[in-house]
Structure 1
């Protein structure tokens, strides 16, 4: 061989290791960054807001997507256990092939986004995000065979979750008859400004996840409808009216911060403009996101948090909607306009469904109980959820404090009576307490309780 070939050969030998992916395990540190999952949850929320899903339907999207993420990740840590056989109908989840190397965080993100894309309308928005985030996984230096194997496993889990979801009665309820307004005294009727039809009148027929049934935790009866000025109902109506007329700056800020109404439409003359907002469930998934980041939770603990909170949300909504369409209680706005002050308007737009109980009170408390179970009852966090909507962040020193504020915000907003708020909060706590006792995501439950201390 001629001498002048030696420098070229030497250069090729030096560059060879840099031109190939090295299976040295260093990629695992980067790929295990829970930010991949946090960003995916935020992207799903953005799409849910864009597509304007109702609060109950949004909770369903979060639940199936988050459980998919957890189930794809659970095999990465022997201390965690699957939710199969713990939530209704979920059995025989796909298992990774023994002896094969996987990147479970990649599989988790793949499962989450695949399910989320399946359940939303704007698939192209999630697809674009998928292209971006999968490329970032590839750039960690992950071996090609690990990448492909992990993507395939995530798809397997997602397919299993979608198949499970098909039996929850959701599709059937799409064809059920619309809610019929009876105009009976004290019963719900559509409210201004758009007088929309009742939303999801058959939601209580959706299969629960961990609850035994939709009516497992029926709240106390609301005050009987009465226009007698000495009646409890009239007194509560008057309280909502007077509160709305005399809001302090802090009360106004609280009501606005927890508005979370995806149905808001602004009217200017003959023009209407939809103002897209996060749902109540979306706000609590954001709090779960913030809690994970604040606690510096690893990937599996983050996936666990999202899964448990999302189950608290959907079972909370099913339980709440069961009562809403049982009591069918009239909204304060309707009573006040007809019998007290025809010019009065609540600060917040009244959502299009019966009043009792307060949905935000129910799901905020069910989610808060779960988050307290995971992170403790003295967890301080800064809730920046509404900053992107032009509102300042608020600081809370416990999840309970946040849930209490979310509940009372409905009185300040003029859309609920006090009994709907207080009894809804009690109902939500019962749902949350039941879930944390029934669902075991840690094989050593003592370890979970110690981690909260």
Structure 2
């Protein structure tokens, strides 16, 4: 079944979403400092009794995933219009990953069913729900203390404060609850301390560095009025972050893009020029909606898909440990997609369609024609083009979810967008959603076809990798 538009409230969403993307671009100009907190030492971790582990695994099978799903839904709501506006996808991916790893680690520091990301002393008597809620809350609040934190966390956290109170009030007072809260604090502290080396790499914008390219095909800055000199490079050092699940940061570096004087490049150029223009005469209304719809935060959009697939199964087949691991891998994979593609983008340093079309007279290709006033449907992101992180992250999540639920692809998915209230797009499979997500970058004017196709190939491979290697079940 082809994706279709199910409902639109009032006016077409393009004007609103364009405004949202511009607001996000302003926030890319703010530099940030990461709050470093102390760490629980690895040698403080108490040994695990194997007999106890076997017995306790049985008890976790029936523990409800409700608390994990409640905090997961709270994150989804936090990054949905209007609260999510202003948090760039790459920096908010960092928050989503740490919050979900905190919930996963909290549960596995009570009953170690899966490998943890960070390590704290196991407390088998801690209440799982108290530990999950407190760990998630502490991570959100810690990141919220970063100067200029709106790039990482929406600033209205009233709902999060209330949710912690509600979550803990629902748990009977007693030693288990007290220990659960203490464990949540410890897990969040250990997790954030493990990422303390991220500090030098989290700044959001680098004015005029790296420099403008000079050769055909090299990245050119797009004028960004709030930046110094009107030029700013977004998240230049995210590629230096330690990956969450990749064994090394250059695992998924693709081969080079087409040469700008090749016929393959010209074909992609002309497609992007025709379909990605703000005033395109060939892009349909549905394709315009696709371009805007998927331009939002990837974590929110793919979390929505992942939840729908999970909820299509009998709820009794899930438990807190399974759900926490599932969402931790989903969001860690998205963050690793940003790390990996940042490395590739800087290595190949390719221009975006907007620059390519403005400067086509100098590209040495007789099959391309310049248009110095061409504008994309949505404002061009200030970072090189190749490959597409939107395609990489969507394909990675899609493949992981596909593998997680036994290689089944046929699901009814009614997808919403955090930036386009009232619009729903329907799919009959995960792969349909993955494909439309990728194509949206052509319709928005962000990418050439090779960039999105390579992104999908990389993402699918990485989805297989995290399914087989990330947070593995203990024997």
TM norm structure 2: 0.73
Partner of 1:5: none
Q: Does 1:389 align with 2:424?
A: no
Q: Does 1:108 align with 2:132?
A: yes
**Residue 63 of structure 1: CA displacement?**
1.4
Q: Does 1:350 align with 2:383?
A: no
| In structure 1, distance between residues paired with 2:459 and 2:137 | 28
Q: How does 1:119-268 map to 2 (within 5 A)?
A: 119-120=143-144, 121=149, 128-140=158-170, 142-167=172-197, 169-172=198-201, 174=203, 178-192=209-223, 194=225, 196-226=231-261, 231-244=263-276, 245=280, 246-260=282-296
Gaps of 5+ in 1: 1-27, 85-89, 261-278, 445-453
Q: When you count helix as a share of all residues, which structure comes out higher?
A: 1
| In structure 1, distance between residues paired with 2:196 and 2:422 | 38
The CA RMSD over aligned residues, in Å, is 2.9
Task: Provide Cα deviations, 1:185-212, integer angstroms capped at 9, x if missing partner.
Answer: 2211122564541111222111112212
Q: Using a 3 Å threshold, how does the CA distance of structure 1 residues 30 and 237 change in structure 2: closer, same or farther?
A: closer
Task: Provide Cα deviations, 1:365-415, integer angstroms capped at 9, x if missing partner.
Answer: 111111112234325143443166325212223322211111111112221
Task: Provide Cα deviations, 1:250-291, integer angstroms capped at 9, x if missing partner.
Answer: 22222121112xxxxxxxxxxxxxxxxxx2233223333333
Partner of 2:354: 333
Look up the SS of the partner of 1:380 in the other structure.
strand
Partner of 2:41: none
**Alignment counterpart, residue 285 of structure 1, candidates 278, 287, 303:** 303
| In structure 1, distance between residues paired with 2:81 and 2:181 | 22
TM norm structure 1: 0.76
**Residue 37 of structure 1: CA displacement?**
2.2
Partner of 1:430: 461
> Would the aligned equivalents of 1:285 and 1:309 in 2 still touch at CA under 8 Å?
yes
Aligned residues: 385
> Would the aligned equivalents of 2:106 and 2:135 in 1 still touch at CA under 8 Å?
yes
**Residue 93 of structure 1: CA displacement?**
2.6
> Would the aligned equivalents of 1:255 and 1:409 in 2 still touch at CA under 8 Å?
yes
Structure showing greater Rg: 1
> Would the aligned equivalents of 2:399 and 2:460 in 1 still touch at CA under 8 Å?
yes
**Residue 51 of structure 1: CA displacement?**
7.3
Look up the SS of the partner of 1:190 in the other structure.
coil
Q: Using a 3 Å threshold, how does the CA distance of structure 1 residues 355 and 145 change in structure 2: closer, same or farther?
A: same
| In structure 1, distance between residues paired with 2:333 and 2:300 | 12
Q: Does 1:412 align with 2:447?
A: no
**Residue 337 of structure 1: CA displacement?**
2.8
Q: Using a 3 Å threshold, how does the CA distance of structure 1 residues 95 and 319 change in structure 2: closer, same or farther?
A: same
**Residue 173 of structure 1: CA displacement?**
5.5
Q: Using a 3 Å threshold, how does the CA distance of structure 1 residues 441 and 383 change in structure 2: closer, same or farther?
A: farther
Q: Does 1:71 align with 2:105?
A: yes
> Would the aligned equivalents of 1:208 and 1:214 in 2 still touch at CA under 8 Å?
yes
Task: Provide Cα deviations, 1:78-134, integer angstroms capped at 9, x if missing partner.
Answer: 6x31234xxxxx4x33311x4x3x321221121112112212326895753344223
Partner of 1:398: 429
